[in-house]
Chains A and B, each alone.
Chain A
Amino acid sequence: MLPKLYFGYFSIVMVVISLLIITRKNPVHSILWMLALFFHIAGLYLFLNAEFLAAVQLILYAGAILVLFLFVIMMLNIKKEVVDERFAGDWAMAVFVGGTILVLILMAISTLTPGPLGSYTIAAVQAETHAKVLGRVLYTEYLFPFEIASLILLIAVVGALVLAKKRRT
C-alpha cells in the first residue's frame, strides 16, 4: 500500500508540474518548475533502486543543463516575449494529435508482456554497490558506445563555439 501511495504522489505531482511547464508564459517560471520536476524524477529513481542515476539526474540536469537554460534566458531580453501571444493558432489540433498519440501508446502498453529477467537482482546489485555495477557494465560491455558519447560531447563543444562565435568577414 505504501509504495503505491508514494508512486501516486509522485505521478500526480509530475503530471501537474509537466502541464505547468508547457503553459507558463514566462520561460523562467517554466524552468523553475522543471527544477521541481527533476527533483521528483530523482525521487522516483531512488524508489527504483537507481541511486547513482538519481545523483546524476540532480547534478547534471538540475545543476548543469537547467543553469545553462537560465543563463541564456537571463542574457536574452525576454520582456517583449512575455507580452506575446502564448499559444500557437492551431493549438486545439496539436492537443488532439497529442491525445491520439497518448491513447495509442496506452493501448499498446496494455498488451505489454515483459521479457526474460536478467542476472542483476536487487540483492546482487546491493552486494556490489550500484555505482560499481553500472561502471563495470559501462566500461566493458558498452565501451565503444561510451567513446561515441564522448565524441558527441566534443562535437557539441565545437559546434556551440562555432555557432556562438562572432563572425569575422
Chain B
Amino acid sequence: MVPLNWYIELSAIIFTIGAVGFLIRRNIMIMLISIELMLNSVNISLVAFSHYLQDVRGQVLVLFIITVAAAEAAIGLAIVVAMFKNKAVLHTDEVMEMKG
C-alpha cells in the first residue's frame, strides 16, 4: 500500500513546478499551461484523499475543478486571441497598457 503522504508530496512538487513555470516564463501560452498544471496537481491530491478516506466527495470536487479549468481555458484563450489581434505579441513584457 502506497502511503497517502507520497501522493500529497507528489501533488505539492507538481504544484510548485507549475507555480515556478508561471513565474519564470513570459510566453502567455506557457503561463496558461502552467495554470492547468497547478489545477491538475490539486486534482491528484483530492483523488488521493478521496481514496484513502473512503469518501467520494473529493472526486465530485475534482469534477467541479475540471469544469472551472475548462471555463478558465476558454476565457484565457479568448483573451490571448483578442490580445494577439490588437498587438500581435504573445510576450507579456510587451503588453504594458495597464502599466504592469
CB within 8 Å of B: which residues of A?
3-4, 7, 11, 14-15, 18-19, 21-22, 24, 27, 30-31, 34, 37-38, 41, 44-45, 48-50, 52-53, 56-57, 60-61, 64-65, 68-69, 72-73, 75-78, 81, 84-88, 91, 94-95, 97-99, 101-102, 105-106, 109-110, 112, 114-122, 125, 133-134, 137-138, 141-142, 145, 149, 152-153, 155-157, 159-161, 163-164
| Residue from A21, A53, A78, A164 within 8 A of B62 (CB atoms) | A53
Residue of B nearest to A72 (CB): B77
Main secondary structure of the interface of A (DSSP, over half): helix
Contact in complex: B70, A18 (CB < 8 Å): no
Contact in complex: A22, B81 (CB < 8 Å): no
Residues in A with CB closer than 8 Å to B68 are 149, 152
| Min CB–CB distance A69 → chain B (angstroms) | 7
CB within 8 Å of A: which residues of B?
1-2, 4-10, 12-21, 23-27, 29-30, 32-34, 36-37, 40, 43-44, 47-57, 59-60, 62-64, 66-75, 77-82, 84, 88, 90-91, 93
Interface centre among B18, B57, B72 (most CB of A within 10 A): B57
Query: Across the A-B interface, how many residue pairs have beta carbons closer than 8 Å?
Result: 227
| Min CB–CB distance A117 → chain B (angstroms) | 5
Excluding A27-B27, A153-B70, 8 further A-B contacts by CB distance (< 8 Å) are A18-B13, A18-B18, A18-B21, A48-B51, A98-B16, A101-B19, A102-B16, A110-B5
| Residue from B18, B54, B90 within 8 A of A81 (CB atoms) | B90
- Closest 10 interchain pairs by CB? A22-B21, A118-B55, A156-B71, A94-B23, A98-B20, A163-B78, A160-B78, A91-B24, A27-B29, A102-B16
List 9 A-B residue pairs with CB atoms under 8 Å apart, sorted by A's residue number. A18-B14, A22-B17, A53-B62, A91-B24, A94-B20, A106-B12, A119-B55, A159-B78, A161-B78
